[in-house]
Structure 1
């Protein structure tokens, strides 16, 4: 599928495309998936190229600015580069739980220092007896995700 074909499909009303044969929809979906995979691979390759080309300069800029992470800016010829090295912080949940308990034991509110959240595994919830489920049902909201459809050719599924 070339760029012109992609643009034509994008500009075609959904109602018109929905009238295509199932074979055509199958090919369209598979072609789109192939294009997406190739585009993702291309983006990943270009990102690796940019990292190799600009990482050292970005690290030097951050070092000069006295920071380990964040955004730095510099130019390469006619191109302005904004290099971001985001901060990814993770917290040890067991240690935070111990700290929260110590804070609570000292009479203070751990919520003043730590964001505390609760969640219930849906698999566990579904396995509970009804009387336990009813205690939790008021706190449970079910939302659906985006629908998806997989298409396969009949001869492939019958072989």
Structure 2
């Protein structure tokens, strides 16, 4: 890490924002490179940890007859926690058909499942205005977080 990048942490925002675009771009590029290196290092270490403990965690899960969730065991002075999360996905078209069937049978599908309607912006933008207007009362638009990206300015097509 360059001394310039190390100094950024303790630098007042006014001083940092007074730097030239070139200086900020250089600092961002260096920070991105460090982040990429740290990510690769972290993934490598996590792979080694998984390799070391996978059999012990798998055997403990089998003993406990526990397919998902947390198991814990010790390795010397270290407590090892292994998690296998449960990731459920639902086929939206099939759920929609089930909800329709429940409605036809006089049931309230919303008492059994969470129903969320969404409309992609691109689809909404393609609709005729008369249809858009009927949906507008249900539409709220708020600002997302502004983002800025710096890149080298290559003048003259370089």
**1:61-76 to 2 correspondence within 5 Å?**
61-76=60-75
Aligned residue for 1:111? 110
Q: How far apart in 1 are the matches of 2:143 and 2:33?
A: 27
Shift of 1:7: 4.6
TM-score by length of 1: 0.90
How big is the shift at 1:29? Answer: 0.9
RMSD: 1.8
Query: 2:25–2:151: 8 Å Cα contact kept in structure 1?
Result: yes
Aligned-residue offset at 1:146: 2.1
Give secondary structure in 2 for the equivalent of 1:81.
strand
Q: How does 1:1-159 map to 2 (within 5 A)?
A: 1=1, 6-155=5-154, 158-159=157-158
TM-score, normalising length: structure 2? 0.91
Query: Structure 1 residues 56, 5: CA separation in 2 closer, same or farther (over 3 Å shift)?
Result: farther
User: Where do 5+ consecutive residues of structure 2 fail to align?
Assistant: none
Q: Could you tell me how far 1:18 is from its partner in structure 2? A: 0.4
Distance in 2, Cα, partners of 1:157 & 1:101: 60
Structure 1: stretches of 5+ with no match in the other structure: none
Per the TM alignment, residue 144 of structure 1 is displaced from its structure 2 partner at its CA by: 2.6
Question: In 1, distance between residues paired with 2:85 and 2:26?
Answer: 39
Cα distance in 1 for partners of 2:114, 2:95 equals 10
CA-to-partner distance for each residue in 1:44-85, whole Å, 9 max, x for gaps?
111111111111111112222221010011111111111111
